Structure 1
Amino acid sequence: MTGINVTIDAPCDNDVMQPLLRIARGFQDYLNSLHPDEIKCLAEQMESTSSKAKYSKAEIEFAAKLGANKISDEERSKLEFAALTKNFHWRQELLKSSLTAPQVAQMLNTTRQTPHDRLKKNSLIAVQDNGVWKFPTWQFDPQGPDGVIAGLPDVLNALNVPAMSKISWLTRHNKALNGLTPIEALKSGQKEEVIAEACSVGVY
């Protein structure tokens, strides 16, 4: 775990601080959910929008003739904010069909602690969203062992990436699985193929 202290230069009025804290915690949760390679990619994208390119005088004059304008600091900030907002929407989209731990316990007819225990054992997957554990619904199967898709715990153990990256990978179409998502492939009985693919995630 890496600890990073960040100072935010923002108005300190009480009516601003609470929304600011929610935003900061949201960014923290999002960054914590990323795989190291995803963090590097995000940093590179931000650097590409924030770095000021050096142009020759001739290039600047030529661009001016074409009517091209330099990106202002304000426009650059808007682009960075738009990129981060897009990533937040991506996270919300992945979690839009989810259950809380009490709902999972009720559905599986277990104690309230059981979903948390199974989460620790990698037999269920969930991420925290605004302080609440969210369990994607697609992992559950009334016909599967312990109420989940057969083979899913083995795949979760094979995936050596953060939970949000696991959720993204499990629901993304995969060419190596004939275009199926790993979840779809598991449902069709391709457990070994999915595990083999899972073992290669994050390995370069």
Structure 2
Amino acid sequence: MSTKAHAGRTNPRTTAAAGRKGRTGRPAGFSAVLEDALASVPDTERESFVLGVVGEDEDGLDRALWGPGPSPAERKAAALVNLRRQYQARRAVVEASLTRPEAAELLDVSEQAVLDRLKAGDLVGLKKGREWRLPSWQFSADSELGFVPGLARVSAVFAGGVVSLTEWALAPNSDLDGATPAEVLAAGHVDDVVRAARVGTAAAW
């Protein structure tokens, strides 16, 4: 093909991408799209998602399709959106959780026994100031000890903290036939939940 003939052709992908760009050369609504995308990605996968899209130095991007990477201001804005979501999620978990005296009353044990369970990993909790808050999903009247079994094993393989674990434990899980991890733990199927946690951790990498 001659150089002249080749020059007369247009790249449909480039043309389409150019049509989506604003005057700055960046796709229109870039910040909004980035924020929406980040909000839809689980906490445990968010860093790898961002690096996969923008790269540490924008290496490997098709700039004709994506345009320039986000500016420092856009990166900061996206990070702030992410942090706000994390803090809101933490506050929601804390407010819906039990205090140590409440947990002790439910389990008919001393507050020190609850603390011992926290230290052993049998229960999980968050600190609010100097006080513990224990997410309510881990308590089960149908369980022999009054709380779901196997939390220490699940926490050991779960890639995230108590807030992320709570969100995950209460969400229907396709690896558990649509049941939530909390429900499956309460039923005593610890191995199944540990396996699902491992699958989720592997997917995050």
Class of the TM-score when normalised by the shorter of the 2 chains: 0.5 to 0.7
Q: Distance in 1 between matches of 2:45 and 2:178?
A: 23
SS state at 1:147 partner: coil
Q: What is aligned with 1:193? A: 192
**Bigger Cα displacement from structure 2, 184-193 vs 96-105:** 184-193
Change in 2 beyond 3 A, CA 1:189/1:118: closer
Which has more radius of gyration?
Answer: 2
After TM superposition, the score normalised by the length of structure 2 is: 0.57
After TM superposition, the score normalised by the length of structure 1 is: 0.57
Give 5+ residue unaligned stretches, structure 2.
1-41
Is 1:163 the counterpart of 2:157? The answer is: no
Q: What is the CA RMSD across the aligned residues, in angstroms?
A: 4.0
1:73-84 correspondence runs (5 A): 77-84=76-83
Count of aligned pairs between the two proteins? 157
Q: What is aligned with 2:39? A: none
Cα deviation for residue 201 of structure 1 reads 4.3
Change in 2 beyond 3 A, CA 1:41/1:124: same
Change in 2 beyond 3 A, CA 1:158/1:201: farther
Cα deviation for residue 119 of structure 1 reads 0.9
1:85-141, Cα deviation, whole Å (9 max, x unpaired): 122122233333101222212322222211111011111111223443210011111
Q: What is aligned with 2:146? A: 147
SS state at 1:135 partner: strand
1:173-188 correspondence runs (5 A): 173-188=172-187
Q: Distance in 2 between matches of 1:190 and 1:156?
A: 11
Contact 2:181 2:193 in 1 (8 A): yes
Is 1:108 the counterpart of 2:86? The answer is: no
Is 1:40 the counterpart of 2:33? The answer is: no
SS state at 1:134 partner: strand
Q: What is aligned with 1:126? A: 125
Cα deviation for residue 155 of structure 1 reads 4.2
Cα deviation for residue 78 of structure 1 reads 4.1
Question: Sequence identity, in percent?
Answer: 25
Contact 1:124 1:153 in 2 (8 A): yes
Q: What is aligned with 2:3? A: none
Give 5+ residue unaligned stretches, structure 1.
1-33, 64-70
1:57-95, Cα deviation, whole Å (9 max, x unpaired): xx9xxx9xxxxxxx8876664444223212212223333
Contact 2:139 2:146 in 1 (8 A): yes
Q: Distance in 2 between matches of 1:147 and 1:172?
A: 21
Q: Distance in 1 between matches of 2:72 and 2:151?
A: 47
